[in-house]
Amino acid sequence: MKTYLLKRLLSAIPVLFIVSTIVFLILQMTPGDPALVILGQEATLEEVEDLRQQLKLDRPIYEQYFNWLFNALQGDLGESYFMNDSVMEAIISHLGPTISLGILAEIIAITLAIPLGILAARRKGTMTDQSVMAFSLLGMSIPNFLLSLFLILVFSVFWRLLPVAGYKPLSAGLWEHLKYLLLPAFALGTAHAALIARMTRSAMLEVLNANYIKTARAKGVKEKWVIYKHALRNAFLPILTVIGQSFLGLMGGTAIVETIFAIPGIGQLIVNGVMRRDYAVVQGAVLYVTFAFVFINLAIDMLYGIVNPQVRLDSKK
């Protein structure tokens, strides 16, 4: 098990490397001089040149890249051109909202999806099943920014139940914190929920056909336990896979949802950074996000091993 984890961690390194290279190259290709943007149109050529030298923007590309890489490996991701923080600080301060949002969205998605998926599987072929499937299709198909707009229309404008946009950190109180995150979490989580519900349904259907379910019933296990203990444990593996795979997509969706709801998270950080040509921030944040993804993938693989003893034992041999 340990060697497996180590191997996975090691294979993540080239990925990180490639990602940072790609981002670096893209940013270099981007027209627009940060020095010019910082100083504004009124600046003289000399002032711009000075700033460029200060920011080391005049060095050849590969030198800039290696400088950045060297520093990054030591944990120094540079300074933001526009904000008064180092990139590291900027990332850390923007981490909280995104994490809260992601977790809330995930919780909403799972609490909705799994029971619905089980319900659809148990009532396969009936109207209930078809409605659940229709809803999940709808959920998967509405782009999350669209759903955000709809939710704002309904809950903030017509019904005035929840705030339109903005963010309050946890320190302001749990309900205050959640109030601002509820709509965006819903917008983010719905597509995710749809996928999970579908997978739950199909995994449950497959498992419920298995012989060991027949055995469980023949033993006299009550139907409720047949479903939740015997069947769900086995169906959980593919469900977990889909949760993991689409979690990445969910985190990707934070960019636009954060922008719409004015939540100061990593997604918004990156979007603004790209728009403002704040290279250092973009590179650092993207690196961080990629690293987080790799880590999450690993965590899911570990969960796999816990849930399914066969996987655990096979890797022992």
Partner 1 sequence: MNKDPILNVKELSTSFKTERGVVTAVDGVSFDLSKGEILGVVGESGCGKSATAQSILRLYDEKQTIHKGEVWFEGQELLGMRPSEMDKVRGNHISMIFQDPLSSLNPVFTIGNQIAEAILIHKKVSKREAYARVLELLRLTGIPAPEKRVNEYPHELSGGMRQRVMIAMALACESKVMIADEPTTALDVTIQAQIMSMIVELNQKLDMGVILITHDLGVVAEVCTRVVVMYLGQVVEEADVKSLFTRPLHPYTQGLMKSIPQLDCERSKPLHVIEGTVPSLHHIPEGCRFAPRCPFADDLCRSKMPPLEQYGSGQKARCWHAETISEKGEAIRA
Partner 2 sequence: MTSSTENIDLHAVKTALRKEHNSILLRQIMSNRSLVIGFVIIAFLILVALFGPLVIAHDPNAMNVLNRFAPPSATHWFGTDNLGRDVLSRVIYGARISMGIGVAVAIVASLAGLIVGVYSSYYTRLDHLLMRISDGIMAFPGLLLALALMAALGGRASNVVLAVSIVATPYIARVVRSEALALKEQTFVEATRALGASDTRIIWRHIAPNTLSSLIVQATFIFAEAIIVEAALSFLGAGIPPPAPSWGNILSDGKTYIYKAWWMTFFPGMTITIAIIGLNLFGDGLRDLLDPHSSKTKN
Question: By CB under 8 A, what part of segment 189-208 binds partner 2?
Answer: 195, 198-199, 202, 206
> From the list 101, 116, 120, 152, which residue makes contact with partner 2 (rule: CB under 8 A)?
152
In sequence order, the 6+-apart residues with CB closer than 8 A to the CB of 61 are 28
Partnered with residue 86 across adjacent β-strands are 79
Q: Which of 227, 223, 166 is closest to 200 using CA atoms?
A: 227
Which H/E stretch holds residue 157?
none
Among the residue ranges 37-45, 51-59, 222-230, 292-300, the one whose residues contact partner 1 (CB under 8 A):
222-230
> From the list 42, 218, 316, 317, which residue makes contact with partner 1 (rule: CB under 8 A)?
218
| Residue 253 engages partner 2 in binding (rule: CB under 8 A) | yes
| Residue 230 engages partner 1 in binding (rule: CB under 8 A) | yes
Q: Is 32 helix (H, G, I), strand (E, B) or coil?
A: coil
Q: What is the distance, to the nearest Å, from the Cα of residue 124 to the centroid of all Cα atoms in its chain?
A: 32
For residue 195, what are its two tokens? 């996928």
Residue with tokens 């959920």: 139
Among the residue ranges 172-180, 213-221, 238-246, 257-265, the one whose residues contact partner 1 (CB under 8 A):
213-221
Using CA atoms, how far residue 219 sits from 223, 225, 229, 241, 267, in Å, is 11, 12, 14, 31, 52
Among residues 176 and 314, whose Cβ is nearest to partner 1?
A: 314
| Residue 249 engages partner 2 in binding (rule: CB under 8 A) | yes
| Residue 216 engages partner 1 in binding (rule: CB under 8 A) | yes
Cβ count within 10 A of residue 217: 13
Cβ count within 10 A of residue 16: 15
| Residue 219 engages partner 1 in binding (rule: CB under 8 A) | yes
User: Going residue by residue from 265 to 284, which x/- string records binding to partner 2, judged by CB under 8 A?
Assistant: --x--xx--xx-x----x--
* Least distance in angstroms from the C-beta of 228 to partner 1: 13
Q: Is 1 helix (H, G, I), strand (E, B) or coil?
A: coil
Chain residues binding partner 2 by CB under 8 A are 14-15, 18-19, 21-23, 26-27, 29-32, 137-138, 140-143, 145-146, 149-150, 152-153, 157, 195, 198-199, 202, 206, 238, 242, 245, 248-249, 251-253, 255-256, 259-260, 267, 270-271, 274-275, 277, 282, 286, 289-290, 293-294
